[in-house]
Amino acid sequence: MLKDICVNKNYGNLVDGEWVTTQNSIEIYNPLNNSLLGTIPAMSQEDINKVLKSSKKAQTSWANTPVSERANILYKAANLLEENKEVLANILMNEICKDKKSCLSEVTRTATFIRFTADAAKHLEGEVIYADNFPGFEKNKISFVTRVPMGVILAISPFNYPINLSASKIAPALMGGNSIVLKPPTQGAISALHLCEIFSLAGVPKGVLNTVTGKGSEIGDYIVTHEDVDFINFTGSTEVGKHIAKIAGMVPLLMELGGKDAAIVLEDADLDRAVKEIVSGAYSYSGQRCTAIKRVLVMNSIADKFSEKLAKEVSKLKVGNPEETDVTITPLIDNSSADFVESLIKDALSKNAKQLVEYKRKNNLISPYLLDNVSLDMDIAWVEPFGPVLPIIRIDSIEEAINICNRSNYGLQSSIFTSNIDNAFYIASKLEVGTVQVNTKTERGPDHFPFSGIKDSGIGTQGIKYSIESMTRLKATNITMHNL
């Protein structure tokens, strides 16, 4: 188990049921200590053509495989994931430097996701519509509306959840009767390839799930515009998402992109609860989550007290090696990400933001950092840092909070902390985001809830049932009974 896909640390791609290496490869290093973890294939355009050909061919018979059979394969994959969770969590930890506890939780969450997806798909049905519901038509015409696959799905996943955000595309796509080509993140590919090994071992037929590795900047445009791709499901940065949207033509898109989620703290909030939720929301996995809280908007009247409490909790966060127990802050994915976070901090300090904890950095490890008195001319008020830094913006009214939230180009989530349900609902109704959380941190789960970003945060809706619906389409067969 979990060994066929690599020889001497040289990983292959899953192509038509075989693990295939290529002449050119990319070395993958551990972001913690730069040790070599292995190599992954750098696929050429010719290799990609072979993959797409196999996916297209396999899709037809997979679409004819009974849903209950597809579900049984997914249940088996979920069980295999759980049986191998220790091994997978270690691979994940070494590749993306996520703390071990969160790696384990990513694997088990993924197993639950896969099972729930199989269950949900068994209950997705079409409908029958009579024509006489519409004025001027008679009952003799009936539409049978069924759900059919989109065809070949191209799934592109990001580095921060290479197992979960690959499976969240693969499982619903498979249950919808599609074949799927996964292009994992380069840093994260080894983890994602192991996930695909699990699906393959569980019985996904050859060609139904294939993988393509290579640098997005080199092979991305080719694969995204490939004539055999029928649908693109992308999770990653807004910059790359917008680029794909520009070149993809008429191919339907589902996109989960960046965010700048705000936590709004009103005068009547339970401050201890708000602080606990905000610390967890902002700093887990060192802030490298799309749904991380990326700015706090706090009422001026309670701002001093709130900032003091927040700073106290932030300074308690454990910083270090992902293997250590209870560690929250681990090294960022690479040095250039840390440089970017530092540049935002420097910009804010040069414009008179106030640091509430000392700034410490060693290579790609940045200690949790907190800035108060952040003003709207600072980049950190608007830009997604994807690192362990949280800006506090002081506000004087609910309207000001709504205005600042909605001026963002992003629209993923927001949190509101208040004990006044009327204010919570009023603010929620005004915020231009996919999801509003009341008295809790911003987060994606539970995974059967709808999850969508608007504006620069995405296109369409994910979440188990919604993802299956997004990756299938409605087909109508209309019958007219002339003897009625």
Residues lying near ligand NAP in the complex (CB under 6 A) are found at 156-160, 165, 183, 185-186, 215-217, 220-221, 224, 235-237, 240, 243-244, 256-259, 290, 384, 386, 412, 453, 458
**Cα distance between residue 280 and residue 285, in whole Å:** 9
Residue 271 C-beta: closest distance to ligand NAP, Å: 28
Per partner kind, with CB cut-offs from 5 to 8 A, the member of ligand NAP, ligand G3H, none near residue 445 is ligand G3H
Query: Which residue lies nearer to ligand NAP by CB, 141 or 243?
Result: 243
Residue closer to ligand NAP, measured from CB, 126 or 252 = 252
Q: Kindly tell me which of 183 and 394 has the beta carbon lying closer to ligand NAP.
A: 183
186 binds, among ligand NAP, ligand G3H, none (CB under 5 to 8 A by kind): ligand NAP
Residue 159: which of ligand G3H, ligand NAP, none does it interact with, CB under 5 to 8 A by kind?
Answer: ligand NAP
CA distances to 9, 80, 160 from 206, in Å: 23, 18, 28
Residue identified by tokens 């997005």 is 216
In this structure, what token pair is assigned to residue 238?
């807004």
CB of 199 to ligand NAP, least distance (A): 18
Strands (E), 276-333: 293-299
Q: Smaller CB distance to ligand NAP: residue 290 or 299? A: 290
Q: Residue numbers of the site for ligand G3H (CB under 6 A)?
A: 160-161, 289-291, 443-445
Choose the one of ligand G3H, ligand NAP, none that binds residue 162, judging by a C-beta under 5 to 8 angstroms depending on kind.
none
* DSSP 8-state symbol, 333: S
243 binds, among ligand NAP, ligand G3H, none (CB under 5 to 8 A by kind): ligand NAP
Shortest Å, Cβ 291 to ligand G3H? 4
Nearest to 403 by CA among 373, 374, 430, 434: 430
Q: Which is nearer to ligand G3H, 13 or 457 (CB)?
A: 457
* Residue 298 CA neighbour count, 13 Å, CB half: 27
Smallest gap from Cβ 63 to ligand G3H, in A, equals 28
Cβ contact 447:119 at 8 Å:
no
For 313, list phi and psi in degrees, rounded to 5: -70, -40
Tokens of 182: 């996964």
Residues involved in catalysis: 256
CB-based contacts of 165, cutoff 8 Å, min separation 6: 157, 158, 235, 256
d(CA 74, CA 82): 13
